[in-house]
Structure formats: structure tokens, C-alpha cells
Structure 1
Amino acid sequence: MTLLSSRSSNSENRNADHLARIAIIGRGFTGIMTAIALFKRVDRPFHLVMFDPRAKIDISDGISQPASTVLTSRVRDLSLDPELPADFRRWLETDDTWRDRLTSDPAGLEHAFVPGDIFSTYVYKRFSEALTHRPDVIVQFGSDAVTAIDRHPGGGYSVFLGPEQRTRFDAVFLATGYGLRETSDAAPAGGAQNAVVIGGGIHAVDRALALLADAKISHVTLISESGFLPQSHAPAAVGAVLTDHPMPGTLRGAFRFLREAANKADLEGTGWQGIMNGFRSRARDLWAGLTPQERARFKRHVKAIYDSHRNRLPPEHYQRLHHAIASGAITVRKGKVDRVATNGVLFSAPAGLEVLPADLTIDCRFRPSGTDSPLVRSLIVAGLATRDELEIGIVVDESGRTKSAALHGLFAMGPLGLGSLPDIDLVPQIVSQSHAAASLLNGWIGEAAKARDVVNVFDDV
């Protein structure tokens, strides 16, 4: 386990056992963002351990747009500080290295889409700065794989690092993101002409376009289970457009309301994106009021098209995609892949089973957020968490707290809560949730410290 920082000299005489011990499981974007929020919001010394078996810290893990040529969120939406919404733009403007790499956007820098490596550098920079300002905090990176979590007999949580080794923590943040499945994209020794990319989301489209851009692949078959592909962002950022009419409380009524409002906006030339943004701002209230049957119906019939309008491509990427489709360089097939082999895939198309031969196959499907992993199963068996009704992730509240509010200090952050909180896989929502969770934890740590101080006073007497 690697030590990153130690306490300052003015706290060296503090009993280390009195430091709150916090674990973050996952070092993708959600995990790093949670750590930044803890540095900023928890005003007492603490001991933080960040677990992840991967040596590389992947900022793209845990947000809906994994490492790609261009992120699908605009500059204006990528600040890591909810009180400074222009922080990312200002960082770009003052950093010559990155500012010079950006193409001038007629709508202004805040409306631009930037490469993923630029955002990663910004996140690393803010993490480093936040850590530097907390010399009273111990931070360690652990390469152990966390296999289970349970209540600790002495209070808090036991984090198991294998069948026998366990460590106690006062608070645990699960930040394991999506769990992206992707086969190796190394081309065969003899070269590759045809590729199959499995998935209909942003990442799949990005990989398909990247393969064609490298000029090593002449044709890509893009397999979308639903048949839907991501829609386009508006040329310039639009806010949430809200109507004066109350939104219906049923799934059928709400989406009829959305379609009518979007069609009207298109006829008026204002575009559907603002209407969709307004709908998303009300989505959590709508979701909370739906019956279990309506939620199941949403998963079966609506989720795919909803996601295709929620997670959008930059206009330039959208145009490239449809130009490639029109030219025949990309063929879109609707169907479910049953098996992936070294020389192609077997999939169920509307007309029946088909075999698609390919020199190269890349699987870009998102599986549910690790809910079938031993780690999440251990939480459910221990009564510490509950799967959501859609089996997308774990039931959480706005701050990421799991099943019971009485269980202080157990959080499932970011995409793990998608079944409870629509849009919690997007950067602004993860940022807000991380700061809210850290503020809650700060209150609990303060209460525990006061209780210890009272005990110590009586011990002295």
C-alpha cells in the first residue's frame, strides 16, 4: 500500500486511532471526485485509503463518456467545484498547453467539447491541489481487490481484502462505476479490414469512428441491441426549458408530454434539447412517483430511446457518424449479441440468428454497475444495500447513502445509483453528490469526535 501524504507536525501527537478511517473503492472519476470533496468538506484530520487493483488511475471510469477523443459534455458542465461553475473554463484559459490545443468555437469556449486527456489533466491537478492543502490527512493507495463489506463488531465497516484479511473503516464509499467490458482492439498480425463494434452508446460510436479514422479498418458493423444511436447536442449550449403546464405523474402521460413539447420546439426552431433538459430536471420527482410496474415498463420500452437523447454526441461527431453510415463505411444492425468469438459474433437479429465474420471485434456494452459482483452481493446479503427495481445498481438517496439512513457512512456513488437517481452518471451530478456526501460525513465525524471528547474528560477525572 502506497503512502501519499502524512499528518502535519501539529497533529503528530494526536492518537492515530482517533482519526476517522475512510475507504474509497474505485479510483476512476467518481472515486477521485469523492476524494476531492472529502479534502474540501471534512474539516478534521482523517485517514483515507483508496482501493483499486488497477495500477492506472482512469478518470474516465465511472462517467458515461469513457476515454474518447472528445468528451460529450461541454466545458461549461465540467467544473469540479459546485460553487465555481466556471472553474474548468478558467483553468483552460490560463493554461497555455491546453488552450493552444483547442479549436476555436464560434459559440465560445464554455460551449466547446474538449479531448478526454485535457479533462483528465484538470481532474489530476485539482486532486493534487486539494491534497496539498490538507497536510493533516493521511492518504494511501491500495492495490488490493475488495471482495466484501460487512458491519464491524466494534462499529463501522469491515472491508475484506480476500477471505481472511479485513480492515475496519468508519465510512466506505463505493465508486466502482459501470464496469466496462471491452475486448482487446489489437488488430490481427495479418491486418484487419472489417470490424464489429458491439453497443449503441457514445463509447461504441467513438470507437467505430476512431477505427475508420486510423484507416486500418475499411468497414465497421455497429450492433445496437435497441437500434437507437445517440442524438446530437445543439450547436450551442441550451439550458432547461420548462413549460407552465404541470407534468403528468404517469410514465405514459409524462412521455406524451415530452414528445408534444419537443415537437412544438422543433416547429418553432428552438430545438428539442432544451425541452429534454427541462424534462431531466424533473425526472427524479417523476421517477419517485412511478409504480414498480411503470418502472419495469420504462426499462423494457423507454430507457433505450431516453438514453439516446440524454447522452448526446458533439455535433461534429454526430455528423461524422451519419456521413459514415450514408457512405456505407458503417453499417448499423439491430440485434442482441449471443456470443463473441475470435473471428466474429453470433447475434439474434429480428430475422433470426446470424453469424457476422470480423477481423476485429470490440465489445463496448455497459453492463449493470457491478451488481452481480461478489462485493455488491456481500452488501446485499449483509443487509447494507438493496438492488434497485431495474437491477441497474443500488438504492441510494441524493447523497449516495445506501439502504438505511441509520447506517452512517456507507455510500454508493455515481453510476451505482442510476436506478434511483436519473442522470447520476453525468459529471455535474457526480460533483454535487460527492460534495453533499462529504458534508454529511463531516457532520457525523464531528458528532463522533464530541462524544469521544466527553468520554476522555470523564476518563481524566
Structure 2
Amino acid sequence: MTAIALFKRVDRPFHLVMFDPRAKIDIGEGISQPASTVLTSRVRDLSVDPGLPGDFRRWLETDDTWRDRLISDPAGLEHAFVPGEIFSTYVYKRFAEALSDRPDVIVQFGSDTVTAIDRHLDGGYSVFLGAEQRTRFDAVFLATGYGMRENSDAAPAGETQSAVVIGGGIHAVDRALGLLADSKISHVTLISESGFLPQSHTPAAVGAIVTDKAMPGTLRGAFRFLREAASRADLEGSGWQGIMNGFRSRARDLWAGLTSEERARFKRHVKPIYDSHRNRLPPERYQRLHHAIASGAITVRKGKVNCIATNGVLFSAPTGLEVLPAELTIDCRFRPSGTDSPLVRSIIVAGLATRDELELGIVVDECGRTKASALHGLFAMGPLGLGSLPDIDLVPQIVQQSHAAASLLNSWIGEVAKSAARRQSL
């Protein structure tokens, strides 16, 4: 999606190199999500171009393969939720089309592992591939998402099995439901560290409800404000989701005004329940989850996993340490977006970025620039900036950010070109 933004926003020839040691540039490959994973944004809110908000819906309507699978959604196509594989197919097709519209752009795909990034003596950045090889670039975009998961999602062959899924988010719920759909799995234990699970979307989309009342500038006051507004909405029958959407639209301003102590308190006490209400399940999946819990097919346990073994897990439950045997264990816990990887550590050591206070990622501005006051061409896209920008892990927000970053880069390139032209004229 970042590459598409560059094709559309940078108005002069450039050379793009996309590094990924596991890349498969293939229509329908997917965005590192199993086919069972449903995106949490509706069809109407998905597009690779902010200027074409209905683009994904129109693409679905003209594609027989996907339209026939989704047209039965009772809420209508624009309110539907789709598996990641469908959106990924769309993204790759739009990538191919955007590239074909730019014959002046050279694109290369590199399978090398990028091990470090540093400033280059002549300006720009040195990108290191292994211990010795390095290449200079004028701009670098870190678009690594949450990184790659090493565990396998596939159940081994054999008789009916029990499984453990670690995590309490959307991905964990999807994996638990997907395992139950496999006849080999009869029971799943879902271990949530906080005990919270995702709430439900409304059947049809609701917009952001923002009251005229000023929101308090403290963490405690802001969430008291949110709870009271949501309670009133429930009593009135409009539901809390619109209130939450309105709160999210103001969350970045609130976050910027919190003290370090309040941000730390948010991570310890508020983040799990906040995430369970902002990252919601499609209504059908929510109903399937709670039906499985009620029938005993899924058991939810609260606790922190200390160790994963081949035959089960050791975890700290409220009552103490427990050993939970299982023939299959899948770890779906949220991971701070690769900030402990050698690549990100090299950027921090070089002074090109700093960790955010919650240690979820690195500090960025709205466009994804790291240390924006000093640098022009180093960007960390999407979840890498989650500690600075609430909701930047959702597709619509990532698309907005990628186009803002590409526009900013284009302006900077234009300024550099003008400066060079003036020097030549002198």
C-alpha cells in the first residue's frame, strides 16, 4: 500500500527497491493473514486511495469471484466484513495497475534481509544487507507491520485434538474459530492475559458520534467521560459503538496531552479494555464465538503464559501457576512491532529513531516520519508507530498515512530539485 501511494503521489521518476526475504509478489497471496482472518474494517471503509473511498466496493461489485461470495450479506455489501485474502487480492491488483501507469518508475524486489540502517556520509541512508554489503537510498520506508509469526497455524494430522490459542484479540479469536471448523479439533482453550475479548460491531455501520461537551484532558477524566456517554447511548438505544468511534477520532489529541505517568497507567490498566472495544468482531463472528463458549467448545482462561512446550503451556492464572496440556498450541499474542529486531535496534542506536514510552514501537509523526524535526526521508508505517498514533494499525488509517508520507516526500524532493537548479544557475 505504501508503494501504491508512492506511484500516485511522487510526480517525477524514481527507483523503488522493495526488500522482503519472504516476499511472494503474487495476486491473492494475502497480507500475512490466514484465510479465516476477517478484517475489522467494513468494505465501505477500505480503499488503497483516500481520494477514491468506494474503490474496494466497486472492485468487489465487478469481480464475479468475490461478489458472489459476499452478496448474501444481510446488511449489504458496503457493510460487509471480508477475509484478508480478498482485500489482499485487491491490493495486489491495484499495485500492478498503479505500476503500469508509471513507466518512468523502476521497481526491484530484493530477497535480501536488511540488517541495519544508518546515515550515509553523502546524505540519505545506508541500508545494510548482511555484514558487508550496503546500498545508499534517499528515503526509507519501514513497512514491516507486526513482523512475521514463526509458529505454524496448521494442525498436525491425527485423531481429535485439544488446542490452546494464546491471545485475546481478533487474530486469536479467528484462529480459535478456524480450529473448531476443522473436524480434528473438538476443544480450544483461549488464554487471554487480561481476560477481555473483542466486542461486536453493529450489523450496519454507524458513524462517529461526537458531543459538543469538551473532553477532559486527563486519562481518568477522559474515560469517565467515555463511559458516561456510552451508557447514555445504550439507554437511548443508539449503542456505544458510535460513541467509541467519536472518541477514537479525538484520541490522538488526548494522547498528545497526557503525561508520561498517565500513558504508563493507560498501558497497565486501560489498554486491554480499550482495544477490546475499538477492535471489534463482525456480528456473525461474535455470535459464533459466544455460542462456542456457551457450548463448551471454547474455554476462556485468564492468565499470562510463561512457557510454551511441545505438549502444552505453563501459565500464571489468578490462582497460581498451572500446566495446561495441549496437542497443538498457537501463539497469537500482540507483539511490539519488531522493536527488538536487529534492524530497529540499529536505527535507534544510530539516533534515527527513539522508542515510544509504551515500548509498542518507535516515535513518529502523523506522516510516519521518525524524529520529524531532524529527518526528511525515514518513515515507519502503520503499527510501528502505534505508541505515538492510536489506531494506526487499522487499514484505513495506514492508507491515509502512506499517502500523506508520499506527498511529503514528493514536496521534499521538489525542494531539493529547486535548490540544485538554483546552485547550477549560480
Tell me which interval the TM-score lies in, with the shorter structure as reference length: over 0.9
Name 1:10's counterpart in structure 2.
Answer: none
**Residues of 2 paired with 1:223 and 1:95: CA distance?**
39
Q: Is the 1:181–1:366 contact (alpha carbons within 8 Å) kept by the matching residues of 2?
A: no
Q: Summarize the Cα distance change of 1:191–1:452 in structure 2 as closer, same or farther, 3 Å threshold.
A: farther
Equivalent AA in structure 1 for residue 292 of structure 2 = A
Which ranges in structure 2 are unaligned for 5 or more consecutive residues?
none
The aligned runs of 1:238-249 (5 Å cut-off) are 238-249=206-217
SS of residue in 1 equivalent to 2:185: coil
CA–CA distance in structure 2, aligned partners of residues 239 and 144 of structure 1: 44
CA distance in 1, matches of 2:88, 2:155: 27
Deviation at 1:192, TM superposition (A): 4.2
Matched with 1:403 is 371
Look up the equivalent residue of 2:403 and give its one-letter code: H
CA-CA distance at 1:97 after TM superposition: 2.1
**Which residues in structure 2 correspond to 1:408-447 (within 5 Å)?**
408-447=376-415
Identify which of 116, 120, 129 aligns with 1:152.
120
- 2:231 alignment counterpart: 263
1:183 aligns with 2:183: no
Unaligned runs of at least 5 residues, structure 1: 1-32
Kept after mapping to 1: 8 A contact 2:37/2:175: no
After TM superposition, give the deviation of residue 73 of structure 1 in Å: 1.4
Q: Which residue of 1 aligns with 2:134?
A: 166
Whole-Å separation in 1 of the counterparts to 2:150 and 2:278: 23
In the other structure, the counterpart of 2:176 is 208
For residue 285 of structure 1, the aligned residue among 253, 261, 282 is 253
Counterpart residue identity of residue 72, structure 1 = T
Structure 1 Cα separation of the partners of residues 382 and 119 of structure 2: 23
Are 2:323 and 1:352 equivalent residues in the alignment? no
98-107 vs 237-246, which deviates more?
98-107
Cα 1:272–1:180 change in 2 (3 A) is: farther
Between the aligned partners of 1:272 and 1:247, the Cα distance in structure 2 is: 17
1:60 aligns with 31
2:52 aligned with 1:81: no
Partners of 1:397 and 1:420 within 8 A in 2: yes
SS of 2:69's equivalent in the other structure is: coil
**Match among 97, 105, 113 for residue 73 of structure 2:** 105
Q: Which moved more, 1:51-60 or 1:291-300?
A: 51-60
Q: 1:114 aligns with which of 55, 74, 82?
A: 82
Offset, 1:425? 0.6
Q: Quote the residue 1:305 is aligned against.
A: 273
Identity %: 87
Aligned partners of 2:256, 2:30: CA distance in 1, in Å? Answer: 30
- C-alpha distance after superposition, 1:399-454 (max 9, x if no partner): 00101423111111100000000000111110110010000100111122223334
Q: Within 2, Cα distance between the matches of 1:71 and 1:403?
A: 31
In structure 2, the partner of 1:389 is: 357
In 1, are the aligned partners of 2:43 and 2:56 still within 8 Å (CA)? yes
Count of aligned positions? 423
Q: For 2:75 and 2:186, locate their aligned partners in 1 and report how far apart those are by CA, in whole Å.
A: 34
SS of residue matched to 2:235? helix
Aligned-residue CA RMSD in angstroms?
1.4
Counterpart in the other structure of 2:166: 198
Q: Give the Cα separation in 2 of the matches to 1:402 and 1:454.
A: 29
Per-residue CA deviations over 1:352-383 (Å, capped at 9, x if unaligned) read 11000001111111210111111111111111
Single out whichever of 404-413 and 220-229 deviates more from structure 2.
404-413
**What TM-score does the superposition give when structure 1 sets the normalisation length?**
0.89
Letter of the structure 2 residue corresponding to residue 318 of structure 1: Y
The answer (yes or no) to whether the contact 1:370–1:376 under 8 Å persists in 2 is yes
C-alpha distance in 2 between matches for 1:419 and 1:66: 26
Deviation of 1:193 (Å): 1.5
Deviates more, 1:173-182 or 1:128-137: 173-182
User: 1:332 is paired with a residue of what secondary structure?
Assistant: strand
Determine whether 1:219 maps to 2:187.
yes
Alpha-carbon shift at residue 182 of structure 1 (Å): 4.9
How far does residue 66 in structure 1 lie from its aligned partner after superposition? 6.6
Tell me the TM-score normalized by structure 2.
0.96
The DSSP-based 3-state class of the residue aligned with 2:191 is: strand
Which residue, 295, 298, 307 being the options, matches 1:327? 295
Q: Deviations over 1:152-210 (max 9, x none)?
A: 00100000111111100000001111125352234344334100000000011001001
Cα distance in structure 2, aligned partners of 1:187 and 1:50: 33
Aligned equivalents of 1:180, 1:202: Cα separation in 2:
17
For residues 30 and 258 of structure 2, the distance between their equivalents in structure 1, rounded to whole angstroms, comes to: 34
The residue correspondences of 1:22-101 to structure 2 (distance < 5 A) are 33-56=1-24, 59-61=30-32, 68-101=36-69
